[in-house]
Structures are given as structure tokens and as C-alpha cells.
Amino acid sequence: MTYPACPRKAMEPPVMPHFRVIATLVVTACCLRADQGTDFFEAKIRPVLLEHCHACHSADAAKAGKLKGGLRLDTRDGLRKGGDSGTALVPGDPSKGTLLASLRHEGDVRMPPKGKLPETIANDFSKWIAM
């Protein structure tokens, strides 16, 4: 039977495999979070945007000359850029931007103009913006 020259070092686990495991877990967690955010958007946010916002805040509205407030809500860039009233949203911070305040009918801009949506919808938008 042969013994390693330095038994202590032979028994210690190498550092690199642990780093790979941790890196894999971090990447997986980020992907799962992104998937959850996408799933949440598709289930809770997109249907509201299509039903209540698309007619006035989309490429179709712009083509028809009916875009309101210079705001496009049908693209990521449009959501982040905002419109004539300012930035629509700041990812990660629901307290910034005009979108959530407009949905809650707080301030001068109140959307949709025909009536306030249920608070549960505003809460969904808040949760989504925070993701």
C-alpha cells in the first residue's frame, strides 16, 4: 500500500469543484428568477396591458396616429423610457416612475381614464416592477 507524500493535502477537497458548484447554483437561481419574472409578466401584466392600454400606448396606436402621451407600453424600451409625463418605470423600484401612480389614480395622470382598476392589479404591477 502506498501513502501520499502529504496525507493532509490528499484528503482536503480541491477548491475549484466547490467554486463550480456555487457558480452553477448562482446562475441557476438567476435563471429561475428570470423565468419567474417572465411567467409573472405573461400571466398577470401582459393581459392587463393588452386589455386596458394597448389601444392608446402601442405601435398600432402610433401607426394609426392615436398614440397618447408619447408612451409605448408594448415594448421593454417603451416601458422604461416612458412618455411625455416622464419615466414610466424604474426596474426594481416601484416607487419611481409614473406607471404605478397612474394605475392607482394618484396624481394628475390617471389610467385607464375610464376608471380605476382593482388594487390587486396595481399590486401585481408593483410586484412585477420590483422583480
- pLDDT value at position 25? 47
- pLDDT value at position 29? 52
Q: Which of 124, 122, 120 is nearest to 111 (CA)?
A: 122
- pLDDT value at position 37? 83
Its sign, for the CA torsion 30, 36, 38, 44, is negative
* Average pLDDT estimate for 88-112: 94
Instruction: Give Dmax over CA atoms of the chain in angstroms.
Output: 86
The model's pLDDT over 42-94, given as tens digits with 9 standing for 90+, comes to: 999 999 999 999 999 999 999 999 999 999 999 999 998 999 999 999 999 99
* Average pLDDT estimate for 31-47: 81
Tell me the DSSP string of 60-126: HHHHTT---TT---SSHHHHHH-BTTB-S-BTTBTTSSSHHHHHTT-SS--SSTT-PPPHHHHHHHH
- pLDDT value at position 18? 53
Mean of per-residue pLDDT scores for the chain? 83
Beta-bridge partner residues of 1? none
89: phi > 0 → left, psi -120 to 50 → alpha, else beta; which? beta
Q: Which residues contact 91 (CB under 8 A, 6 or more apart)?
A: 80, 129
Distance of CA 94 to the CA centre of its chain: 10
Count of Cβ atoms closer than 10 Å to residue 22 Cβ: 10
Share of the chain above pLDDT 90, in %: 63
